[in-house]
Chains A and B, each alone.
Chain A
Amino acid sequence: MRAGVAPRSLVRAPALTRAAVVLGGGGALLLVALVVGVGLGSVAVTPEEMMRVLGHRLLGLGATSGVDASIETIVVDLRLPRVLGAMVVGAGLACAGTVFQAILRNPMADPYIIGTAAGASLGATIAIVLPLMAPALAIGAAGSWLGIGFVQLFAFFGGLGTVLLVIGVARQGGRLPSVTLLLTGYAVSSLLAAGVSLLMFASGRALAVIFSWLMGSLAGVGWADLAIAGPVVAAAFILLLARWRSLNLLLLGDGPAAHLGLDVGHAKLQLTLIATMATSAAVAISGTIGFVGLVVPHVLRLVIGPDHRLLLPASAVLGAALLVLADLGARLAGGIPVGVVTALVGAPFFLWLLRRSRRVASTLSA
């Protein structure tokens, strides 16, 4: 059967109209999230006031913004960095989750799975507890380095360092077997979690600080945090998207991907490190916020399919918008942890989607 020409081309550009709808819709959602996130709160800010403040501060329009100074402070110093921080964290976690689910071919994979969360938590806990135990360090800790606090630095390098350790232990020759990576990450995480527990037990009055960090919060995010975490997450996103073909091939399994010309060990190593950079940067400014990185990729895979060309950008946009709205919910509900909101709203929606989807999470079943 060499039936010449098929009725229409079977190979389509990544379904351009679908991509336009998904990304256009996502962009609109992101804009709504931005306006609502900055506008709502104990003091309401109208979109017009917002525009005038931003026009004055960012574009230099007008001698003054013509808006009450307190409103200007709320918008520029409090809400805007917080909303942008939520976007950076949400996008970073959702992208990292997408990547870890693909390279580990495991539907339970999230950005924290191979030790980032445990490492970052231990780093942050040490940074919180250390000044109490060694008062000489308190001066350094109270100050900051390039505007970034000790806790953020320790969390970032704690997460990154842990993953490097896990990779080092799990690597066999040039290969990075997924199951070994997964189990090594689990074991190292458990070890570090024990360290966190021990420090919490011994921390005395710092317990509440540690606990609130572990639950995750965007309350303290400032421009200095964004200046570091934003570019890291943006660079990670671009580097991951550039590897969309490798990510798609890895869904076939290590052997078939190698037969199609992919240096599997090298690709996995690169992808793991890039995704870990994004995760560590996110965790450093927000603590460990769960659920976004696990569920956003799944929801999108069920709706738009597993092609990473579209899946990665869509994950970034949806993760960003979702976390802004969840953080808004947390703020309006009197400052409850944002992770509680993501789980409370996200889990039922995810369950509903799983029930009605024909193609359950089996996209990743190996």
Chain B
Amino acid sequence: MTLVVEAAGLHVSYEAEGGERRHVLRGLDLAVEAGELLALLGPNGSGKTTLLRAIAGTLPRDAGRVALFGRDLAAWPRVALARRVAVLPQALSLPDGFRVAELVEMGRAPHATRWFGSSPEDAAAVERALADADALDLGDRYADELSGGERQRVLVAMALAQEPALLLLDEPTLHLDIAHQAALLASVSRLQERRGLTVIAVLHDLNLAAAHAPRIAVLGGGRIAADGDPASVLHPALVRELFGAVVDEARTADGRRFVVPRAPSAARNEPSVPSARRYS
């Protein structure tokens, strides 16, 4: 297996108020193999987006090494990188006045071969991206006419038009209702299989991650504090340790494990005893 992402000893800090530096990542190690679907979790401010941007190469790092596809990040020309890595940022305001197909075509920018127009390959890639993102019917619409769910599909299509090998998603389910969350992640995992994509998705919802991602990594203290399959990561003790939240665990009929926040009245009864209630 080739490593698509390899981060070792990664340190990233920001300049905070008063000239002090806030160290977000402190010696983080992470390795992601080709074809993996990794959900990145962690408390607010733990550095999920920072890690994603450090991997994408749009954030300077203080120390440590990031290699993509076995090649050091610094050695990647920007355009060559954009042909292999697509990023779906958390807050992207789509400019009005473009048709969806034109926006998705912007995803072809790193592949552009023609000075003024688009090649037949570009056109084919845009259609394929729209189809794979379930957005073919949106091609002629305008950005300001889209609902939240449609908008996310268009953003996914833009990223797919880049024909990346690595897809970095920063909270793709933000602002989506429960049905659209599931639909989006289901289509991401379908794509991951169909296109052989490697996907790293920042998610907030532990259970959503557990339901869709075979591997979950949790950020804490500037490093990967827990990493493994959902069953091994979703322990109430671990959640409490990393998120400071008191939760109970629950299992579905087919034995998958989830966590549920404990009701305030019950949370006062420390210490917690993991319950084994059935949950379906």
Contact = CB atoms under 8 A, between A and B. Distances in A.
Contact of B122 (A1, A2, A11, A305): A11
B123 A9 contact: yes
A261 interface: yes
Given A11-B105, A362-B96, A6 B127 contact: yes
Interface residues of B, number: 44
B106 A248 contact: yes
Interface stretch (A40-48, A70-78, A82-90, A249-257): A249-257
A1 B127 contact: no
A362 B145 CA distance: 13
Q: Is the interface of A mostly helix, strand, loop or mixed?
A: loop
Contact of B92 (A11, A256, A363): A256
A262 B123 contact: no
Contact of B109 (A6, A242, A262): A262
Contacts of B110: 260-261
Given A11-B122, A255-B89, A262-B109, A365 B96 contact: yes
B97 A359 contact: yes
A263 B123 CA distance: 24
A13 B94 CA distance: 21
A332 B189 CA distance: 69
A361 to B, nearest CB: 9
Given A11-B105, A11-B126, A307-B98, A259 B58 contact: yes
Given A256-B92, A305-B98, A11 B118 contact: yes
Given A261-B82, A309-B116, A359-B142, A249 B98 contact: no
Interface string B96-121: 11100110011101101001111000
B242 interface: no
B139 A13 contact: no
A13 B101 CA distance: 12
Given A1-B131, A3-B136, A259-B82, A253 B93 contact: yes
Contacts of A366: 93
Contact of A10 (B56, B98, B130, B162): B130
Contact of A259 (B87, B95, B144): B87
Given A255-B58, A305-B98, A307-B98, A10 B140 contact: yes
Nearest to A12: B101
23 contacts: A1-B131, A3-B131, A6-B130, A6-B139, A9-B123, A10-B123, A10-B139, A13-B118, A14-B117, A252-B94, A252-B106, A255-B58, A256-B92, A259-B56, A259-B58, A260-B107, A260-B109, A261-B83, A301-B97, A306-B96, A306-B97, A359-B97, A359-B144
Interface of B: 56, 58, 78-79, 81-83, 85-87, 89, 92-98, 101-102, 105-107, 109-110, 112, 115-118, 122-123, 126-127, 130-132, 134, 136, 139-140, 142, 144, 162
Interface of A: 1-3, 5-6, 9-11, 13-14, 242, 244-245, 248-249, 251-253, 255-256, 258-263, 301, 305-307, 309, 359, 362-366
Given A259-B87, A261-B79, A261-B82, 14 more contacts: A1-B131, A9-B127, A10-B126, A10-B136, A10-B139, A13-B117, A13-B118, A14-B117, A255-B58, A258-B78, A259-B86, A306-B96, A362-B96, A364-B95
* 5 shortest interchain CB distances as A-B pairs: A261-B82, A261-B110, A10-B101, A11-B123, A261-B79
